[in-house]
């Protein structure tokens, strides 16, 4: 079967199904893209299940990356909190020393 014959089968199927069928409107909507793919020797578009698997894999990757980002952010926040605590303690100590020094006058 030639590419043109396959395209004609699709057009005939869309016409035969009609606008009031379950698949007819969808086929009419995608037929131009399918024709382009056939003429360009591109394989058929993935099935919905393939798209769902791909989306699930992308979601899993995104969740893993998000968890890593949150872990790094929490570690960085804890580090900054420790640094801030040391600075506050140092400032308090310096202030106490200064007050003691002023009191000795």
Same structural domain for residues 40 and 52?
no
Same structural domain for residues 63 and 75?
yes
Range of the domain at 75: 47-105
From residue 28, alpha-carbon distances to 2, 12, 42, 80 in Å are 21, 10, 19, 59
pLDDT in tens, 22-78: 999 999 888 888 898 899 888 877 777 788 889 999 999 999 999 999 999 999 999
Same structural domain for residues 72 and 97?
yes
DSSP state of 2: -
Number of compact structural domains in the chain: 2
Of the candidates 10, 2, 52, the one whose C-alpha atom is nearest the C-alpha of residue 27 is 10
Residues 6+ apart with CB under 8 A from 38: 3, 6, 7
* pTM of the full structure: 0.46
| Mean local confidence (pLDDT), 74-89 | 97
Of the candidates 46, 44, 39, 15, the one whose C-alpha atom is nearest the C-alpha of residue 28 is 15
Same structural domain for residues 69 and 18?
no
Structure tokens, 99: 């007050």
pLDDT confidence bin for 103, thresholds 50/70/90: confident
* Length of the chain, in residues: 105
Same structural domain for residues 40 and 67?
no
Same structural domain for residues 69 and 32?
no
Same structural domain for residues 40 and 70?
no
């Amino acid at each position: 079967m030639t590419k043109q014959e396959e395209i004609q089968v699709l057009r005939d199927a869309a016409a035969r199904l009609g606008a009031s069928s379950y698949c007819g409107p969808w086929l009419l909507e995608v037929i131009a893209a399918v024709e382009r793919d056939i003429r360009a020797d591109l394989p058929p578009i993935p099935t919905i299940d393939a798209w769902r698997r791909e989306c699930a894999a992308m979601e899993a990757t995104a969740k893993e990356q998000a968890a890593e980002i949150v872990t790094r952010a929490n570690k960085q926040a804890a580090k900054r909190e420790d640094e801030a605590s040391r600075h506050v303690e140092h400032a308090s100590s310096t202030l106490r020393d200064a007050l003691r020094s002023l009191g000795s006058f």
